[in-house]
């Protein structure tokens, strides 16, 4: 199979704008929008946390069904592109509605749960088949790292948009509704580009229709590499999303207490991290090509966890301002973030190739579906725990220690991922080696 042309890699990467712009904006700002530490609260943080958990639970449940469905689907649009073309418009609309509260009290709580349920289901419906295209587009490990690196640049671009848009628009008093509408347009345009430019080219045997969902799930968990990988990755999901969701509270309570424009600074700090993730990404690619994806993931994930823990020291000294103290921490976080943007999808693609040598079938959608099912549980749980943390621990006492420790919690879970990854028996280039041997 020839290497994927650069233009196709770029067009595929555009879809990451539709994944990561809403994916980072939503957990970063939804608590600040509905339940700030100070000022008017639309809903309590506990209710917002429950709504976030319920929404991600639906996404988790939907993922394996959609993955198995997309593996077996036959349509004139293709196996994966069918879901993209039928789902990206309602996905964009539902995301926009989250930021336009049409009521208050119990009615608003019900509406928020409905919006998050619908949005999360549609997110799985569109994004999982989009991710499942990766192992079909190219089979060589190095080519996949290039593909996922280009996609990572667009992922970072999405986070830049998720950082810049609120930083600018909220500072200009346009409100969250305008920001949400702008991101909804980004979702629509990015997936439209993917649908119009990417061709599906399965790289191997296609699963027969009688391959049941239950059999597909059982076969997935027979893969020892995947089992160990996903357990480690679940700790990462909780730590990362707990830190991301709590960043607004941390900036409001510790970094810039009393500053009315603190929400704009949240975007500035995330922007610094993602800019340095761009600058550091060639370093990760070179390290990964030389030492393998496993060692690269261990090292760079550990760096990210340490950066989260370092947030606890901000404000303990007044030699320089709190703002300047955060900047070097965000730079270190940018170095660690490269592992999050580039490696997981490439690693899962290698595991899928390994599974084909065991089962004889290509099941990209099922693997990404099972991963999506499992990873949404800790990411949703992160929002639930954060809501409880703020409403039941911080609010009764207003003890700033509870806000200061938020980064430590996220960092410890992230470090746990790095440690557990030592026991993941990852194999690389199985598919490309097999093809060369048969030539």
Q: What is the pLDDT of residues 184-237, one digit of tens each?
A: 999 999 999 998 888 776 544 444 445 566 676 777 777 888 889 999 999 999
Q: What is the mean pLDDT of residues 330-353?
A: 85
Query: Does pLDDT of 147 surpass 60?
Result: yes
Q: Most confidently modeled of 32-46, 184-198, 379-393?
A: 184-198
The upper half-sphere exposure of residue 407, i.e. CA atoms within 13 Å in the direction of its Cβ, equals 26
CB of 290 closer than 8 Å to CB of 154: no
Provide the CA 118 distance to its chain's centre, in angstroms.
18
According to DSSP H, which parts of 292-405 are helical?
A: 293-310, 322-359, 364-388, 395-397, 401-404
Q: Which of the four pLDDT bands, split at 50, 70 and 90, describes residue 266?
A: confident
* Both tokens assigned to 348: 């899962």
Check residue 322 and give its pLDDT: 92
Check residue 362 and give its pLDDT: 65
What CA–CA distances, in Å, run from 391 to 48, 54, 371, 386?
11, 18, 31, 9
12-21, 31-40, 187-196, 233-242: lowest mean pLDDT where?
31-40
17-21, 135-139, 288-292, 395-399: lowest mean pLDDT where?
135-139
What CA–CA distances, in Å, run from 159 to 162, 274, 279, 388?
5, 7, 15, 27
Check residue 205 and give its pLDDT: 44
Check residue 66 and give its pLDDT: 83
Query: Does pLDDT of 102 surpass 90?
Result: no
47-51, 80-84, 346-350: lowest mean pLDDT where?
346-350
Q: What is the mean pLDDT of residues 294-318?
A: 93
Q: What is the mean pLDDT of residues 327-340?
A: 92
Check residue 324 and give its pLDDT: 93
- Annotate 296-334 with b (16+ C-beta within 10 A) or e (fewer): bbbbbbbbbbbbbbbbbebbeeeeeebeebbeebbbbbb
Alpha-carbon torsion 62, 68, 70, 72, what sign? Answer: negative
Check residue 435 and give its pLDDT: 44
Q: In DSSP terms, which residues pair with 206 in a beta bridge? A: 362
Q: What is the pLDDT of residues 230-264, one digit of tens each?
A: 999 999 999 998 998 899 899 999 998 888 778 88
The tokens 């608003």 sit on which residue? 108
Q: Which of the four pLDDT bands, split at 50, 70 and 90, describes residue 365?
A: low
According to DSSP H, which parts of 99-175 are helical?
A: 105-132, 134-137, 141-171
Q: What are phi and psi of 6, to 5 degrees?
A: -60, -40
Check residue 437 and give its pLDDT: 46
CB of 239 closer than 8 Å to CB of 410: yes
Check residue 208 and give its pLDDT: 46
- Annotate 98-125 with b (16+ C-beta within 10 A) or e (fewer): bbebeeeeeebbebbbebbbbbbbbbbb
d(C-alpha 200, C-alpha 225), whole Å: 27
Check residue 283 and give its pLDDT: 92
Contacts of 343 (CB under 8 A, 6+ apart): 148, 284, 288, 293, 296, 297, 300
Q: What is the pLDDT of residues 53-94, one digit of tens each?
A: 888 888 888 877 887 777 776 766 667 888 888 899 999 999
Contacts of 392 (CB under 8 A, 6+ apart): 46
Check residue 242 and give its pLDDT: 93
Contacts of 71 (CB under 8 A, 6+ apart): 79, 132, 206, 207, 211, 216, 362, 363, 364, 365, 366
The tokens 């991922």 sit on which residue? 417
9-23, 322-336, 366-380: lowest mean pLDDT where?
366-380
The tokens 């997309």 sit on which residue? 70
CB of 380 closer than 8 Å to CB of 60: yes
* Both tokens assigned to 36: 């700030």
Q: What is the mean pLDDT of residues 27-50?
A: 87
Q: What secondary structure does DSSP assign to 393-415, as a single string? A: IIHHH--THHHHTHHHHHHHHHH
Check residue 18 and give its pLDDT: 93
Check residue 174 and give its pLDDT: 86
Q: What is the mean pLDDT of residues 110-115?
A: 93
Q: In DSSP terms, which residues pair with 362 in a beta bridge? A: 206
Of 62, 181, 216, the closest CA to residue 126 belongs to: 62
Check residue 56 and give its pLDDT: 85
CB of 301 closer than 8 Å to CB of 416: no
d(C-alpha 285, C-alpha 404), whole Å: 34
Mean pLDDT of the chain: 84
Query: Does pLDDT of 15 surpass 50?
Result: yes
CB of 320 closer than 8 Å to CB of 265: no
Query: Does pLDDT of 30 surpass 70?
Result: yes
Cα angle 54-244-46, degrees, rounded to a multiple of 5: 40
Report pTM: 0.74
Check residue 357 and give its pLDDT: 73
**Domains of the chain, CATH where assigned:** 12-432 (1.20.1250.20)
d(C-alpha 354, C-alpha 85), whole Å: 30
């Amino acid at each position: 199979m020839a290497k994927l042309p650069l233009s196709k890699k770029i067009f595929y990467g555009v879809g990451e704008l539709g994944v990561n712009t809403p994916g980072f904006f939503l957990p970063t700002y939804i608590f600040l929008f509905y339940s700030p530490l100070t000022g008017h609260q639309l809903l309590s943080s506990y209710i917002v946390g429950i709504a976030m958990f319920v929404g991600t639970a639906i996404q988790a449940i939907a993922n394996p069904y959609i993955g198995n469905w997309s593996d077996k689907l036959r349509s004139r649009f293709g196996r994966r592109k069918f879901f993209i073309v039928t789902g990206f418009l309602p996905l964009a609309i539902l995301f926009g509605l989250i930021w336009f509260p049409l009521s208050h009290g119990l009615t608003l709580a019900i509406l928020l749960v409905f919006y998050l349920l619908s949005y999360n289901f549609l997110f799985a419906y569109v994004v999982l088949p989009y991710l499942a295209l990766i192992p079909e587009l190219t089979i060589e490990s190095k080519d996949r790292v290039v593909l996922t690196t280009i996609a990572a640049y667009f992922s970072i671009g999405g986070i830049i948009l998720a950082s810049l848009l609120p930083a600018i628009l909220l500072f200009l008093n346009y409100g969250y509704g305008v920001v949400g509408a702008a991101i909804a347009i980004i979702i629509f345009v990015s997936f439209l580009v993917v649908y119009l430019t990417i061709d599906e080219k399965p790289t191997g045997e296609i699963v027969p229709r009688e391959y049941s969902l239950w059999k597909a799930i059982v076969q997935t968990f027979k893969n020892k590499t995947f089992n160990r990988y996903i357990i480690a990755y679940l700790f990462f999901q909780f730590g990362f999303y707990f830190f991301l969701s709590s960043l607004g509270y941390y900036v409001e309570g510790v970094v810039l207490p009393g500053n009315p424009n603190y929400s704009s600074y949240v975007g500035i700090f995330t922007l610094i991290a993602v800019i340095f993730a761009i600058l550091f990404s060639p370093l990760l690619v070179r390290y990964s090509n030389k030492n393998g994806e496993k060692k690269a993931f261990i090292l760079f994930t550990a760096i990210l966890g340490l950066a989260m823990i370092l947030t606890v020291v901000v404000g303990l000294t007044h030699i320089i301002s709190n703002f300047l103290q955060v900047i070097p921490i965000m730079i270190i976080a940018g170095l660690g973030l490269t592992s999050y943007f580039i490696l997981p999808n490439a690693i899962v693609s290698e595991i899928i190739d390994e599974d084909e040598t065991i089962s004889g079938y290509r099941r990209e959608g099922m693997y990404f579906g099972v991963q999506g099912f499992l990873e949404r549980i800790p990411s949703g749980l992160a929002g639930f725990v954060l809501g409880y943390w703020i409403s039941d621990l911080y609010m009764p006492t207003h003890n700033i220690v509870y806000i200061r420790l938020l980064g430590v919690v996220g960092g410890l879970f992230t470090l746990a991922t790095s440690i557990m990854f030592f026991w993941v028996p990852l194999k690389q280039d199985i598919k490309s080696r097999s093809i060369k041997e048969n030539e």
